[in-house]
Amino acid sequence: METVLREEESRRMADDDQQWKVPPNVQELAAAGPEEPPSRYVVRDHDRPALAGAGGDVTDPIPVVDLGRLSCGDADEAAKLQSALQTWGLFLAVGHGIEPGLLGEMMAVTRDFFNLPLEEKQRYTNLVGDKREYRIEGYGGDMVLSETQVLDWCDRFYLIVDPESRRLHDLWPTRPPSFRDVLHRYSARCRELAGAAGLPEEGRLADMLDEKAVTYVRLNCYPPCPRPDRVLGFRPHSDGGVLTVLLAETAGLQVLRDGEWHDVPVVPGALVVNLGDVVEVVSNGVLRSPVHRVVASAERGRVSVAAFYTVDPEREVEPAPELVSEERPRRYEKTKKSGDYVRELLESLARGERAIDKVKLV
């Protein structure tokens, strides 16, 4: 009996020692009305966002690209897209054909999910087993690798939506009642958009988004913060896949260009489309995967829906041979298998690094 008690006490102490691996729920922290964010969320002085809008005037603001005109062969629209992807790595997509009503439904079920009681949301936790091991899919916060890691002022919910055979239906919420149907319809329309985004030939989009490609959707909730100048909603990072489609109705997204942060404007009905590391590697750096972040606000919360398009998890990625020359030497090594790269991306993010830097040659 004494041995059993000692073993139980040892397990309890081990669990207590691992509590730092379990990030707090940010919505609950914000609802408590603190005057200051907890120290685990306070970023270093040189990483703190400015309270005023980021970036000055630029002669070439982030372009708004009409995908409808682009699909009809409009040369001006194609030139605008090419310039956007080479300079910004992203653009605002209009004329994408997704009905405003569906966009509104997707935002509504996202807000409704995050407004559920905490115990309901935790049915879909991303921490599994007795050791609370982190998995990509599910509801929760950051992957935590150390006690000193600075956390994002954000709660998230990851799901695989494509291929449908890989969906973990136990993680698809039954509340709100329309969640599953709306996400299914929205993700189908987004995939159509991704396939018709008009990526320049250097991006090899058609070759990468095949039937084995995997699509993740991440719902994000950024509650108001009493000191938005001391935290980040999402730390600086680039996306690891082919491209990302973002739905948001509130400002907060910023993109890094030439060492300065710039606000990504909110255009009603527009979706933000940005490239990922895979395209930067395949294009040998002709196209760029932009570093971006999310800043917090004291006055309002923000929710968003990001769809990440990644290649076959077993596929390795390297520069296209025809894009390597004496004038433009090879700039990247072959990456790990895509599935492993996504995991490395999250670990690098937790360490404040970029996964793509590990495969850069110059």
Q: What is the pLDDT of residues 237-271, one digit of tens each?
A: 999 999 999 999 999 999 999 999 999 999 999 99
Torsions phi, psi of 3, nearest 5? -65, -40
pLDDT at 204: 62
292 is a domain residue: yes
List the Cα angle 74/269/306 in 5-degree steps.
100
The CATH code of the domain that includes 292 is: 2.60.120.330
Evaluated on CA atoms 292, 265, 278, 98, the torsion sign reads: positive
- Neighbouring residues of 232: CB distance < 8 A, sequence distance ≥ 6: 43, 47, 49, 152, 153, 293, 294, 295, 296
Q: How far is CA 108 from the centre of its chain?
A: 19
Q: Looking at residues 222-234, what average pLDDT do you find?
A: 97
Q: Please give the model's pTM, rounded to 2 decimal places.
A: 0.91
pLDDT at 10: 41
263 is a domain residue: yes
pLDDT at 23: 86
Q: 47 versus 331: which is more confidently predicted?
A: 331
213 is a domain residue: yes
118 is a domain residue: yes
Give start and end residues of each alpha helix (H) in 196-243.
205-208
- Checking if the pLDDT of 19 tops 90, the result is no
- Checking if the pLDDT of 13 tops 50, the result is no
Find where tokens 């988004």 sit: 209
Distance CA 30, CA 37 (A): 8
Cα dihedral value 321, 315, 189, 185, nearest 10: 180
> In total, how many domains does the chain have?
1
Q: What is the pLDDT of residues 333-356, one digit of tens each?
A: 988 888 888 888 888 988 888 999
120 is a domain residue: yes
Q: What is the pLDDT of residues 168-186, one digit of tens each?
A: 999 999 999 999 999 999 9
61 is a domain residue: no
pLDDT at 132: 82
pLDDT band, very low/low/confident/very high, at 5 (cuts 50, 70, 90): very low
Cα dihedral value 192, 195, 200, 203, nearest 10: 140
> 169-178: long-range contacts (C-beta < 8 A, 24 or more apart)?
171/124, 171/137, 171/138, 173/113, 173/116, 173/124, 175/112, 175/113, 175/116, 175/120, 176/109, 176/112, 176/113, 178/105, 178/109
Distance CA 355, CA 361 (A): 13
Q: Please give the residue range of the domain that contains residue 243.
A: 67-359
Distance CA 344, CA 136 (A): 11
Cis peptide before 38 (omega within 30 of 0): no
- Checking if the pLDDT of 76 tops 50, the result is yes
pLDDT at 18: 66
Q: Are 244 and 194 in contact (CB under 8 A)?
A: no
Question: What mean pLDDT is reported for the chain?
Answer: 89
171 is a domain residue: yes
pLDDT at 237: 95
Q: 52 versus 355: which is more confidently predicted?
A: 355
126 is a domain residue: yes
H/E stretch holding 358 reads none
Distance CA 143, CA 183 (A): 24
Q: Are 125 and 332 in contact (CB under 8 A)?
A: no
